[in-house]
Each structure stands twice: as C-alpha cells, then as structure tokens.
Amino acid sequence: MAKEIRFLVDEKADEVSGLLLRPKGATALIVLAHGAGAGMRHKFMEEICAKLADRGVATLRYQFPYMEKGIKRPDSEAVLTATVRAVVTAAKEVAGGIPAFAGGKSMGGRMTSLAAAKEPLDGIRGLIFFGFPLHAAGKPSTERGKHLAEISLPMLFLQGSRDMLADLKLLKPLCQRLGKRAELFVVDGGDHSVHMLKSSGRSDDTVLDQIVDEVAAWLSRLI
C-alpha cells in the first residue's frame, strides 16, 4: 500500500502530494514525475511502481502543481523544475539511506533532466526516462535534448520504436554523444507509452515487465 506524503514546493506553488511505495528490504528509491496529460495515479505510473516494488525498488511519485489543482495546462518550466528539486530534497528523508534516483514519464523525465542540468540534484545517483520527449509529434528535432550534455549522471532511456515524440534516428546519435553516461533500451513496436499493437503478439504487461527488469538491472550496476 502506497503512503501519501505532501511536499511544499514554495509559497507561490504551494503544496503537492506524493505516493511512497516502499517494499520491505528496498535496495533503491526512484523519485518519479508524471507526464503532461496524466497524474501520478495514471495506470502507467501505478503499474510501473507496483512492478518495481516486486523487484525490491521503492518509488516516490508525485504531482506537479497544475495537476494537483486539476488544471489541464502544465505549469511554467521554472515551477516544474522547482517542484522536481523540492521533492528530490524531501525524498532524502524517506530514502532512509538507500541509493536514490530520479526521472519520470515523458515530460516528468524531461523536467527532471532540466533541473539536473541547471544544478546537481542532491543525493541523486542517476536519471531514468520512461519515454523521453525529444520533440513534438511530427517535428523531429534535438533541441529538447541539448541540455543533457550538461548532466554528469548516468542516464537510462526507455523508448518505444514507434514513439512519435522521439525519432530513434535522432535519439540514438544523441545517446552515443553522451557516451558511457547514457544507456538506451528500445522496445520494438512500442509507442510513447510502450503500448503494443495486437499484431506484435506481445502484451503491454509483458513489455512493462521487460522494462522494469531493465531498470532493475541498470540500478544493480550502479549500487
């Protein structure tokens, strides 16, 4: 059962809520931010966190202020990155000394990386991106990924080959330029949320298990 926690971002953005899911004997904690269109209770977030718990990995997922208030339009980049930093700072108290990592789904992952590029995230050992949004749909570009070069932390990219927000012809060279810091795991046939077509013969649940196994293996190499 996930434990609800509240965090103060700042006086302007007020508080946001989070859900801590910590299995007994957890070996690591991942601070996870949601995507632009759905909050921390979205099915994808719920399933990823549950599967990580089964593998001994704790998660702390949280809301951005706009989602907390029920507003559809995301907050400014400044507010989003401030939220990332506030929750990461607070996460040190709930981590209980185990290694901490951060990242998120789509926009949440990108905002985490932007925060880390501006100033190191205290206590964070690596970043994990579940569908990094490299560009807008139908508008291939690497502009949204330029800041990644400023990050010294290890980074894990989990991308679907059909992801309309990350052309692999652009993402693969970008990861190569990041060198040993970056690892890219591609789900053949997956879309931006690694949803699979029926014709693939693979279920979404099976693919999520594969992704979480990849995350667990990556974590084990770093801790």
pLDDT per position as a tens digit, 80-119: 999 999 999 999 888 889 999 999 999 999 999 999 999 9
Cα(115)–Cα(83) distance, integer angstroms:
9
- The dihedral sign for the CA sequence 200, 205, 207, 208: positive
Question: Against a cut of 0.85, is the pTM above it?
Answer: yes
HSE-up of residue 15 (Cα within 13 Å, Cβ side): 6
Cα(167)–Cα(170) distance, integer angstroms:
5
Least confident of 150-154, 176-180, 190-194: 190-194
Domains of the chain (ranges, CATH numbers): 3-222 (3.40.50.1820)
- Asked if the model's pLDDT at residue 11 lies above 80, the reply is no
List the end-to-end C-alpha distance of the chain, in Å, as a whole number: 25
| pLDDT score, position 92 | 87
- Asked if the model's pLDDT at residue 200 lies above 80, the reply is yes
